Amino acid sequence: MRDLVEEHRAAGHEVGILCDSSTGGAHEDRLFDQIRPQLSLGLTRLPMRRAISPSDMAALYRSYKHIKSLQPDVLHGHGAKGGVIARVIGSALRVNRYRVARLYSPHGGSLHFDRSTLSGQAVLRLERFQERFTDSLVFVCNYEQRAYEAKVGIPRTASRVVYNGIQDAEFEPVALAGDAVDFLYIGMLRDLKGPDVFIDAFGRAERAVGRPLTGLLIGDGPDRDKYEGMLAERGLSRRVRMMAAMPARKAFGMTKFVVVPSRAEAMPYIVLEALAAEKPLIASQVGGIPEVLGADSAALARPGDAADLARIMTEAATTPDWQETVMPRPEDFRAVFSASVMARSMLELYVDLLPALRTGQRADLIQRADA
């Protein structure tokens, strides 16, 4: 979203963000502060719980009052709650004869529910119902679109795949620090993202290589203490350090290999950021990651399988030309996954939905997301 803000702002559009205030930490606050000067429609943060709760009604009302005062041309909801708020408020504005495009990008959330459960059926039927108030669905990868079709159904409204992209300035190699570790995990410290799989695989790889390895766990999250305990229990605390969240490119300079051991993903930015920085990457075969690395890539491990992940980590650590042989070519990657390509594709969609934009008028864009 930060990349979209910068690209759309540079194209002459007015942009604002409305998002949750109850999640995130100091690192996220710094990211918001960096982007705030470009948000001519403002940065508004309201408490919005990830799960459905009675407090949603208050958040919805406050969001409506704020968005109505801005009178945007586009409301683009990211994530399940972002999608609800963008479409409900957009529809309410339309009742008052105010034209606004209503878009929704699913990012996991509802798509993690199982159709065989009562809660899953309720949530997925709600997703289906909301298509009536959706001008276009926007998927960040083909995997996400297939997941939506399998769980919700073939869309009855317009839909498009727009790959996430990285800013052009980030397509620069990151120099390796002299004390760089062998393997890095960076991301949320929660089981869905697989830090426990990383720790297990690290120990297995160390035994397979036959020498001590070094690692880093960088990030914040609800399960931090559990992973710290795992490292201590397995005698890895001295060789695998834990650090607070930091900018990805800073972390990339600290490691030889980036590992993304997630149990589930859509299109994780950390994969794109690592490849843009020309870092060798090992990842789970989940979500849209195979669309980036290639479906048959030797860098892909079975999700949740520490033994398979350790096998690839061992191969990478002991094969001198592993990166050149396994990673996609930088020029091919950039042609598909750059922020300029992403933003251009998104603006083309907005133009298709709003006739007023075809006349070259300035557009007001509100990006609504779950933080």
List the domains of the chain with CATH numbers.
2-164+338-369 (3.40.50.2000), 169-334 (3.40.50.2000)
Check: CB of residue 185 under 8 Å from CB of residue 217.
Answer: yes
Q: Which two tokens stand for residue 14?
A: 């007015």
Alpha-carbon 330 to chain mean position: 21
pLDDT at 357 over 50: no
Q: Give the whole-angstrom CA distance, residue 180 versus residue 178.
A: 6
Pick the closest to residue 17 from 296, 368, 361, 315 (CA basis).
368
Whole-number Cα distances in Å, 237 to 261, 283, 364? 19, 23, 50
Contact between 330 and 158 under an 8 Å Cβ cutoff? The reply is: no
Rounded Cα distance, 232 and 83, in Å = 41
Q: What is the pTM of this model?
A: 0.78
Find the angle CA(269)-CA(229)-CA(271) to the nearest 5 degrees: 10
Nearest alpha carbon to residue 84 among 371, 352, 369: 369
pLDDT at 36: 93
pLDDT at residue 126 tops 90: yes
For range 143-164, the mean pLDDT: 94
Quick one: what percent of the chain has pLDDT higher than 90?
A: 73
For residue range 210-229, what is the model confidence (pLDDT) as tens digits? 999 999 999 999 899 999 99
> Could you please report the per-residue DSSP string of 237-278?
TTTEEEE----HHHHHTTEEEEEE--SS-SS-HHHHHHHHTT
pLDDT above 60 for 9: yes
Condensed to tens digits (0 to 9), the pLDDT of residues 43-95 reads 988 877 766 667 778 888 899 999 999 999 999 999 888 999 999 999 999 88
pLDDT over 70, % of the chain:
94
| Residue 168 binned pLDDT confidence (cut-offs 50, 70, 90) | confident
The mean pLDDT of 119-132, rounded to a whole number, is: 93
User: What is the rounded distance in angstroms from the CA atom of residue 304 to the CA atom of residue 198?
Assistant: 9
Q: Rounded to the nearest 5 degrees, what angle is found at the Cα of 116, between the Cα atoms of 221 and 127?
A: 70
